[in-house]
Amino acid sequence: MFRRLSRNTLPMMMMAVSAAPVAAMGQAAPEIRRFPGDGDGAFRTHRYRDLFAEQLGRSPAESRAKIDRAFRQLFHGDGQEQSVYFETGANADGPLAYITDWANNDARTEGMSYGMMIAVQLDKKREFDALWNWANTHMLVTDPKNPSVGYFAWSFSTDGTPRSVSAAPDGEEYFVMSLYFAARRWGNGKGLYDYQAQADRILRGIRHHPLLSGTPPFRIHPGDAPFVQPDTPWPSPNNRAEAAEAEKAGKPWPPDHVRREPRAVTVGPMVDEAHTMIRFVPETELVGTDASYHLPAFYELWSRWGPAEDRAFWAKAADVSRTLFATVTGPKTGLSPDRSGFDMRPVAGFDGKPSQFGYDSWRTVSNWSVDYSWWAKDPRERVLSDRVQSFLSAQGITTFADRYTLDGRPLSTRHSPGMAAAAAVGGFAATPGPVSKAFLRQLWDMPVPSGEQRYFDGMVYLMSLMHCSGRFRIIEGPAAAVSRTRRAAL
């Protein structure tokens, strides 16, 4: 979404997952009784495909070593060139840490929640709790006069001062899912670390946040200074490029900032109830959605684990998201737009230009492919993965651009590790073969992202490694596993 540049019939026909890869690995495929709505993916079978083993012949030990090495570098590596995780003291609730977009020198709910998801999947409780503590200490809006109260402001400077006082749904969604997994992996503690209660609270807010209005400037916490957007843009690689272009053209930089009178803002739920979709932002005047925010694999779990009164909504939302993927992506390219209307048509961006496949859009192929891996409910996801991998492969497997028009015209010259990594996750839904294998090979051979752009590339890279090795899983907890084993034996 734009903030990476300037600021972030239930159920459908089930499709069986082939047991061939499992048999090839010498594992028996137990006969498991189907239950309505469970699908045919890993949720029902308990089998998580290791694409590196299936298509590249890499052992689980090799994959574990690669993941561990990436985690060490991105979380505990050199602070100037490698790490995006930084611990910064402690408070009464314990250690504090943030994930930073190094190039923009800020912490985002997107990255904080990604870091928490990585930590819970890899059983790193200290890092998980420290990130969750920092997010609640700094990012959680508690001032009742701010209409986003109860949400997490999406961007902060690393010193804990805000760069925004409004929320972005992608971070809240990953907060919820990582907290549910933490409750099942480690059990619930008290207060901030009662993970289940915290997840339930956020998830209820996503759907039931009241309509609240106010006129800025707003505060994050009572007693804070009011937040006023500065006249000068926050330093970033994009701004430096724009400044260089302005200087070359003899134009002033930064451009003149016209300060308008503040207007009232109304904030409501993060979902559009009528269309059963996650919104682009909860501010009511900005309508529409972002395909990369749609996480049907998570919604299925929320329809089982979340507050009872909302479970039917999330079950329907999962199916709506699958239809959105099939409808809004380019019919020849499989590329998804960074903005869509609730009618599932691409819409113009904030600059008035047609919606494009942008930075947020990298994640969409991973979203539908993980959904296919965990649930295998929609055969259209295979079509989409084949389509996008075929298009990008034809562009050059090691050179395809990281931004495109939906019909396939490149809008950049950069080949980004994060986008390549997310495209490799498409192998869960794609037809196995040379194209899918080439993407997996590129991911396997890729060095851990470092340097100025290591934040988004690195987070997506590490999660993609975890997905493709079968180490990014539904964490159900011992009691749930026993219960499901009994059900499967019926």
Q: What is the 3-state secondary structure (H, E, C) of the chain?
A: CHHHCCCCCCCCCCCCCCCHHHHHCCCCCCCCCCCCCCCCCHHHHCCCCCHHHHHHCCCHHHHHHHHHHHHHHHHHCCCCCCCCEEEEEEECCEEEEEEEECCCCEEEHHHHHHHHHHHHHCCCHHHHHHHHHHHHHHHECCCCCCCCCCCECCEEECCCCECCCCCCHHHHHHHHHHHHHHHHHHCCCCHHHCHHHHHHHHHHHHHHCCCEEECCCCCCCCCCCCCCCCCCCCCCHHHHHHHHHHHHHCCCCCCCCCCCCCCCEEECCCEECCCCEECCCCECCCCCECHHHCCHHHHHHHHHHCCHHHHHHHHHHHHHHHHHHHHHCCCCCCCCCCCECCCCCECCCCCCCCCCECCCCHHHHHHHHHHHHHCCCCCHHHHHHHHHHHHHHHHCCCCCCCCECCCCCECCCCCCHHHHHHHHHHHHCCCCCHHHHHHHHHHHHCCCCCCCCHHHHHHHHHHHHHHHCCCCCCCCCHHHHHHHHHHHHC
| Catalytic annotation, pick one of 101, 200, 300, 360 | 360
| Catalytic annotation, pick one of 40, 110, 371, 378 | 110
- 110 assigned to active site: yes
Q: Which residues are annotated as catalytic?
A: 110, 360
